[in-house]
Structure 1
Amino acid sequence: MQFVDLFAGPGGLDLGAQLAGAPSVGIEYDANAVATRYAASLPTVHCDVLDFGPADFPDATGLAGGPPCQTFSGAGLGTGREQLDRIVAAVKQAGADGRVVLPVGLDERTALVLEPLRWLLEAERLDRPYEAVVLEQVEAVAPIWKAYAEVLEGRGYSTATGILWTEQYGLPQTRRRAVLLARHGAPVALPAPTHRPYRRGAPRADGDPALLPWVAMADVLPDRGPFTAISNYGTGGDPKARGRRDSSEPAFTVTGKISRLRLVDPDGRELPRLTAAEAGVLQGFPADYPWSGADISQQIGNACPPPLARALVAAVAGDLQPVTAAV
């Protein structure tokens, strides 16, 4: 199975697909993310997703993607969240007549969440429906993926949607993602967790003995020694209310502002902030991943975590051994 990855970013989903044994080609517009992809030798088309369609990638039998999340993310302005009902209605209307019509007044970035649907419907018109679909986004997009699922189920797909916690797939970070998986003419299910969920204050050894313990920051950043991470987000604007996690715990959600994350030693002394390589490791990338171009913190924060991508692609493309650690 070969995937075409829309909004491919610096390569998280593509790297996960490779680990699952499925080749992919990524479409990415941002020059910085493309520079990283080239340095990582990932098959890449540097262009706007809007300018292409399934006919341009005749060998692709799977569709994957994570449309830009800024207008849906809790860290953003929320314009996408405000438009959810209209977007869901547009998805269902497209399912009825086979054409995607953007709601009037929908901003261009938010509208990109409808692009995978355009590709799916165009592939159907070409009589080459994608065999497998993997879509992921921030939690707020879950209602849109459910609407997608309704459309796809009316077109011969089996679907599975839900909110997944990334630490349950080997990522040293707590991060919630809304996902949609689909198979044409075959059953599909969300991937079973391989690791225990993180619960603040609960011993790491607690939980289902059939699952691996969650992965801590110290496991993937052993050279750092013990430290406490202080979130770059406050509660109600009060810096004193910012969350703290010890290195013996998973990281907070890695965002494009990861460079603002403060680290202190057990005595409260300031430590050097995370390097790009370290931030990438917390997002599930290899320590030697060749981050390139500018705005690397944003590239890392926007990327699909490779361990999660591996689990999602494996769920639609075949059975693999469970993930045993962060990539």
Structure 2
Amino acid sequence: MTSAAPHQSILDKPFVLDLFAGPGGLDVAGHALDVPSLGIEWDRSACLTRYAAGLDTLHADVSAVRRDAFESLPPEINILAGGPPCQTYSVAGKGAGRKALEEVKGYIERLMAGAPDDEIDADLEQLTDPRTALVLEPLRYAIQATRSANRDRRPYDVIVLEQVPAVVAVWNHYAKVLRETGLPDGTKYEVVVDVLATETYGVPQTRSRAVLIARRVGLGRPSLPPPTHRAYEAKAWNREAAKAVLQPTLDDEDMEPLDSDPADSGASGLAPWRSMGETLADPVGGHPGRRTPFLVRSNYGSSGLPGRRGVRTDRQPAATVTGRISRFVVFEHLDEHVVREGARFSMNEAGMLQSFPPDYPWSGTAQAQQVGNAVPPLFGAHLLSAALGLPVPDPEVLRRPWVPATKEEQAKLRSHGCGLADSCTARCPDPADQAPARSSAGARAKSEAG
């Protein structure tokens, strides 16, 4: 399911524990690489999507599983992955996490020194926004694995984390202590950290993510995934657009986007970034195809200016897909004189712009938010491939229609994840307990892809 090169994973049987798993971006990435996973997710609708997609899931609070049910997790899990909720760190939010970065670094030091969980928890309750503490959960899971009473469980061999760029300072501190201090049992890791652009891995949108890849000492030095596509540069695009009367077009001979640097023109060995039009043009599965040229006006500010709306053509990658994707306005060019407002992106199309396979079974409510919050699967596949020493993933695997789980399979997954085949139980998280409580307006105002 990847390239023709043989699999030579650094692990004999890789198995991912995906914290804050969302609707399944990293799990879909694992599926494309034949790597099994178990996801822990709080949100009920995201879990419904996961069950419909056939993904192994625990509908639970990540913190509660660590405290109360860690020993019930499969001991063969050897990869820890996660993208903690980013609202308090995001540029779109109030920034409680950004203000607390130095404080969070202090908690990291205390955790690595073996401070008791109850003492840490009591202090974390004093943070302005309790979600800020969730960025510590991957480290707390790594530590908990060293305290397990199960002799078959061992420290995680590989750790893969991703978040918004503002969290790179936290990942750098993670890297420092994992290399130099080590976990309380002495386990140390080789670590790489950087901010990567998803369009350089074939995802048809511009989206920057702070990533951390760690390998337990003895498993070799990790490296970042090599880019496969050129970076999108808005200024270069605008210069090229000014040289010609640029009309969005989906004619077969014009399907390639303009080069961000025409002088480069393949000299780098990298493919051009992938455009919205290239991604959505052809019918596939339940997607009817979008052959009519279009423009997209995003629903949020461009270049940091709230009053300006970002506008891109079908020959460009999408702007960052967030929970507002359903409100992006699509204008269709019927001819050089006629432009009309066309159908807005369906959830299937929005998912495809995130590199989810066509026909991915988005379920429950707040589906646009699920799409926007997800890890782009193709990007996730590149991260896992680099972390495990696997060949570069084949993007065509993720362009094939997804086959949903049968009703029987969904019932089995939900029995495991929720406790009953057809409903949640008392062990499932109560949305009313989420802190701070989400209002629809507040969630929209703070929403950024996380």
Which of the five TM-score ranges fits, normalised by the shorter chain?
over 0.9
Q: Specify the structure having the higher radius of gyration (Cα).
A: 2
> How far is 1:99 from its partner?
5.1
Secondary structure of the residue aligned to 1:15 is helix
- What is residue 85 of structure 1 aligned with on the other side? 102
Check if 1:56 corresponds to 2:56: no
Identify the match of residue 44 of structure 2 among 31, 34, 49.
31
Coordinate RMSD, CA, aligned = 1.8
> How far is 1:104 from its partner?
5.5
> How far is 1:82 from its partner?
1.7
Question: Which 5+ residue runs of structure 1 have no aligned equivalent?
Answer: none
Mapped to 1, the partners of 2:266 and 2:224 lie a distance apart of 20
**1:196 touches 1:207 (CA, 8 Å); kept in 2?**
no
> How far is 1:207 from its partner?
5.4
Secondary structure of the residue aligned to 1:10 is coil
Identify the match of residue 211 of structure 2 among 179, 188, 199.
179
- What is residue 16 of structure 2 aligned with on the other side? 3
Secondary structure of the residue aligned to 2:88 is coil
Identify the match of residue 121 of structure 1 among 110, 120, 143.
143
Secondary structure of the residue aligned to 2:58 is strand
In structure 2, do the counterparts of structure 1 residues 103 and 50 end up closer, same or farther at CA, with 3 Å as the change threshold? closer
Check if 1:148 corresponds to 2:170: no
> How far is 1:269 from its partner?
1.8
Mapped to 2, the partners of 1:103 and 1:147 lie a distance apart of 18
- What is residue 164 of structure 2 aligned with on the other side? 138
Q: Which amino acid aligns with 2:52?
A: A
Q: TM-score, normalized by length of structure 2?
A: 0.69
**1:20 touches 1:320 (CA, 8 Å); kept in 2?**
no
Check if 1:250 corresponds to 2:272: no
Counting only pairs closer than 5 Å after superposition, residues 152-231 of structure 1 correspond to structure 2 as 152-153=178-179, 154-155=181-182, 156-185=188-217, 186=219, 187-200=221-234, 201=237, 203-204=258-259, 206=265, 208-222=267-281, 223-224=289-290, 225-231=292-298
CA-to-partner distance for each residue in 1:111-137, whole Å, 9 max, x for gaps?
A: 111111110111123371100011111
Q: Which amino acid aligns with 2:45?
A: N
Mapped to 2, the partners of 1:87 and 1:321 lie a distance apart of 34
Secondary structure of the residue aligned to 1:114 is helix
Give the stretch that moved more between structures: 94-103 or 53-62: 94-103
Q: TM-score, normalized by length of structure 1?
A: 0.94
Identify the match of residue 265 of structure 1 among 332, 335, 339.
332
Mapped to 2, the partners of 1:271 and 1:77 lie a distance apart of 34
Mapped to 2, the partners of 1:260 and 1:290 lie a distance apart of 20
CA-to-partner distance for each residue in 1:218-238, whole Å, 9 max, x for gaps?
A: 011102221111121135442
Give the stretch that moved more between structures: 100-109 or 125-134: 100-109
Q: Percent identity?
A: 46
In structure 2, do the counterparts of structure 1 residues 129 and 99 end up closer, same or farther at CA, with 3 Å as the change threshold? farther
Question: Which 5+ residue runs of structure 2 have no aligned equivalent?
Answer: 1-13, 183-187, 241-257, 282-288, 400-450
Secondary structure of the residue aligned to 2:312 is strand
